[in-house]
Amino acid sequence: MKPGRFTYHDPTTIDELTGLLASLEDVKFLAGGQSLMPMLNMRFTQPDHLVDLNGIDGLAGIALNGAALEIGAMTRQATLMKSGEIAEHLPVMQAALHWVGHFQTRYRGTIGGSLCHLDPSAELPLIALLCDAELTVVGPEGERSVAMGDWPLAYMMPNLSEQEILKLISITPWGGHHGFAFEEISRRRGDFAIVGVGCQLAVENGSITKAAIAIGGADQVPYRLSEAEAALIGQPASEETFAAAGEVARQKDAMSDAYITAAYRQRLANVLTKRTLAAAAQRATGE
């Protein structure tokens, strides 16, 4: 398990990086390395060039810009977990981060790496989708903006050209009082989720006024349960309502592999949708 031969590049500025990108072919980017390093060692990927993003200034950090939380792509998962801004404005992200790998891996793993790797079961793409994140990518042609809904093009394929990197994730948290929840089922703590579900819910006078549900792991890419979101509006925040939303999740297509059947993923999508909605409703109405 030794990687094949590659040329290592260590740019320190975005300009240096974009200059490199214009000239190189067959490139992989090293962010936190939690997926890429094993893939290199197992020779699942054998790029000619490895560009290390860790030394580039200005790619990491969390800032509040008006109503929007701006998160640099190289921000470590552990940093997000400890951030006061995230705790205050985007607690659902921290709820999900507890499920991301192990505490050791979270010190290396980055939000941008997770979004670009786009494993269907990964928690952070699910959260970005749940929160309608806007992504800024940069390349030799300059910057462009991509809505998270348009980010996954296919299984593990983000809306990103070979010469672009993800720079910034911008999320405008829901205003007003609302509840949230994130739950997932994995075989062991820290394993890839079989299915994970996140939701946000606003409730006024016992009926639902706003709902967002995102499901990961069930299908090739994470998705929003839009049909159920729309149907929830105006409904009472009750067990029956949530069970109906769960049934919608169960009806969605799911993938199967050597270990997990589509039917089991659908079962979990149902159960977790129901459970997270109930937990979010409790938070929304509890105080």
Partner 1 sequence: MGMRYFGTSVQRQEDKKFLMGQGRYVDDIEFVGMLHGAFLRADIAHAKINGIDTSAAREIPGVHAVYTLDDLGDPYPNKPMTTAYASPLLKQTICQHLLAKDEVCFVGQTVALVVAESRHIAEDALSRIVVDYEPLPAVADCRNALDADAPATHLGLDSNLVGNFYGKFGDIDAAFAEASHTFKVDFHEHRGGGHATECRNIIANYDAGKDETTVYLTTQAPFLIRRLMARYFEEDESKIRVICPDVGGGFGPKNGPYAEEFVLAIVSKQLQRPVKWIEDRRENFVATNQQGDQMWHMEIACEDDGKILGARGRVIHDMGAYVPYGLLLPATSVFPLPGPYALPALDVTLDAVFTNKTCTSPVRGAGRPNAAYAMERLIETVARGLKLDPADVRRRNFVRKDQFPYTTGGTLPSGDPAVYDSGDFHSLLDMALENAGYEDFKERQAAARQEGRYLGMGISSCIEDTGFGPYEGVKVKVQPSGKVLLQTGAASQGQGHQTVFSQIVAEELGVDIDSIVYQSADTGTVPHGVATAGSRVTANAGPASQAAARLVRKKALKLAAEVLEIDEDDLEIEDGIVRATAQSGRNVNISLGDLSFKLTPLMNGKVPDGFEPELEATSFTSSTGVPHASGSSVAEVEVDVETGEVKLVNYVIAHDCGKMINPMLVDGQIIGGVVHGIGNALFERMVYDENAQPMSMNYGEYLLPIATEMPPFEVLHQETPSPHNELGVKGAGEGGTIPAANAIIAAIENALEPFGVVVNDHPVDPQRICELLDEAQARSGAA
- Distance separating alpha carbons of residues 120 and 262, to the nearest angstrom: 14
Q: Which is nearer to partner 1, 3 or 149 (CB)?
A: 3
Which is closer to partner 1, CB of 28 or CB of 267? Answer: 267
Task: Choose, by CB under 8 A, the member of 16, 54, 107, 192 that binds partner 1.
Answer: 192
Tokens matching residue 213: 């549900």
Scan residues 32-61 and list those touching partner 1 (CB under 8 A): 38, 42-43
What is the Cα–Cα distance from 180 to 106, expressed in whole angstroms?
Answer: 22
Cβ closest to partner 1, residue 82 vs residue 187: 187
CB closer to partner 1 out of 172 and 186: 186
CA gyration radius, the chain: 19
Cβ-based nearer residue to partner 1, 38 or 206: 38
Using CB under 8 A as the binding criterion, the count of chain residues that bind partner 1 stands at: 23
User: Measured between alpha carbons, how far is 42 from 23 in angstroms, rounded to an integer?
Assistant: 27
Longest dimension (CA), the chain: 63
* Interacting residue with partner 1 among 212, 268, 279, 281 (CB under 8 A): 268
Q: Tokens for 224?
A: 């929003």
Residue of the chain from 1, 66, 175, 287 that contacts partner 1 (CB under 8 A): 1
255 binds partner 1 (CB under 8 A): no
247 binds partner 1 (CB under 8 A): no
Report the alpha-carbon angle 194-195-199, nearest 5: 160
Task: By CB under 8 A, tell whether 191 contacts partner 1.
Answer: yes
Neighbour count for residue 177 (Cβ, 10 Å): 12
- Closest to 122 in 3D by CA, of 232, 27, 30, 218: 218
Residue 264 lies near partner 1 (rule: CB under 8 A): yes
Among residues 106 and 167, whose Cβ is nearest to partner 1? Answer: 106
Q: Is 190 in the site for partner 1 (CB under 8 A)?
A: yes
The DSSP symbol for 275 reads H
Sheet holding 27-30, edge to edge: 7-9, 49-52, 27-30
**Per rule CB under 8 A, is residue 156 in the interface with partner 1?**
no
120 Cβ contact partners less than 8 Å away, ≥ 6 residues apart: 155, 156, 216, 217, 218, 219, 220, 221, 222, 255
The correct pick among 4, 19, 58, 206 for binding partner 1 (CB under 8 A) is: 4
Rounded to a whole number of angstroms, the minimum distance from the CB of residue 124 to partner 1 is 18
Nearer to partner 1, 14 or 39 (CB): 39
Residues 6+ apart with CB under 8 A from 23: none
Answer yes or no whether residue 260 interacts with partner 1 by CB under 8 A: yes
List contacts with partner 1 (CB under 8 A): 1-5, 38, 42-43, 185, 187-192, 258-261, 264, 267-268, 271
